[in-house]
Amino acid sequence: MISFFVLTLLLIMSYLRFWLGRGTENYYTSKPIYISHRGVTKSNPENTIQAFKEAESLGFHGIEVDIIASKDGVLYCSHNHQLDQETDHFGYIDQMLSGELDNINTGYFSHPNNQQKIPRLCTVIENISDDMIINIEIKFSSYFDLSTAFALRRFLKNNKT
pLDDT of residue 2: 79
Rg over alpha carbons for the chain, rounded to the nearest Å, is 19
104-140 per-position pLDDT tens digit: 999 999 999 999 999 999 999 999 999 999 999 999 8
Kindly list the catalytic residues: 37, 79
Q: Check pLDDT > 80 for residue 94.
A: yes
Of the pLDDT bands very low, low, confident and very high (cuts 50, 70, 90), residue 142 is confident
Please determine, for residue 12, whether its predicted confidence score (pLDDT) is greater than 80.
no
For the stretch 14-71, pLDDT in tens is: 666 655 566 666 666 677 889 999 999 999 999 999 999 999 999 999 999 999 999 9
Cβ–Cβ < 8 Å for 36, 52 = yes
- pLDDT value, residue 161: 56
Among 64, 71, 69, residue whose Cα is nearest residue 47: 64
- pLDDT at residue 6, as a whole number: 78
For residues 71 and 95, the answer to whether their CB atoms sit within 8 Å is yes
Instruction: Indicate the pTM of the whole model.
Output: 0.82
